[in-house]
Amino acid sequence: MNAFAALADDTRRDIVRLVVENGELTSTEISQNFQMSPPAISQHLKVLKDANVLLMKKDAQKRIYSLNQTGLKEMEDWILDVKNLWSKRFDKLDQYVMKLKKERTNGRK
């Protein structure tokens, strides 16, 4: 699963927001904020880690989560790429339809 798919889930977005607000949180601290069972939260955390949205470091028995800037930066970049493409395409479309409009207006005179 990739970052887009990982963040398409409400609970996972809430987890990421919580981590962003606190900088770093242990899996236990994250779980305490949700009604869901800790194993279910662990599963979500695994998805977020695999998608490069969160980083995980181990400290003795604790698993500490923080934001993975790289994964999110990549995501922003993909979106920008697609946006740039369509932005240019719409520019061309705009020029083309304006040209047609002019031609047709003149043709009717």
Residues at the contact surface with another protein, assessed by CB under 8 A: 2-5, 7-8, 13, 16-17, 20, 67, 69, 72-74, 76-98, 100-101, 104
The smaller minimum CB distance to another protein, of residues 18 and 38, is found at: 18
CA 106 remoteness from chain centre: 48
Place of tokens 């604790």: 62
The smaller minimum CB distance to another protein, of residues 26 and 66, is found at: 66
In the bound complex, what is the minimum distance in angstroms from residue 60's beta carbon to another protein?
29
In the bound complex, what is the minimum distance in angstroms from residue 106's beta carbon to another protein?
14
The smaller minimum CB distance to another protein, of residues 58 and 92, is found at: 92
The smaller minimum CB distance to another protein, of residues 62 and 94, is found at: 94
In the bound complex, what is the minimum distance in angstroms from residue 9's beta carbon to another protein?
9
DSSP readout, the chain? --HHHHHTSHHHHHHHHHHHHHSEEEHHHHHTT-SS-HHHHHHHHHHHHHTTSEEEEEETTEEEEEE-HHHHHHHHHHHHHHHHHHHHHHHHHHHHHHHHHHHHHHHT-
In the bound complex, what is the minimum distance in angstroms from residue 27's beta carbon to another protein?
20
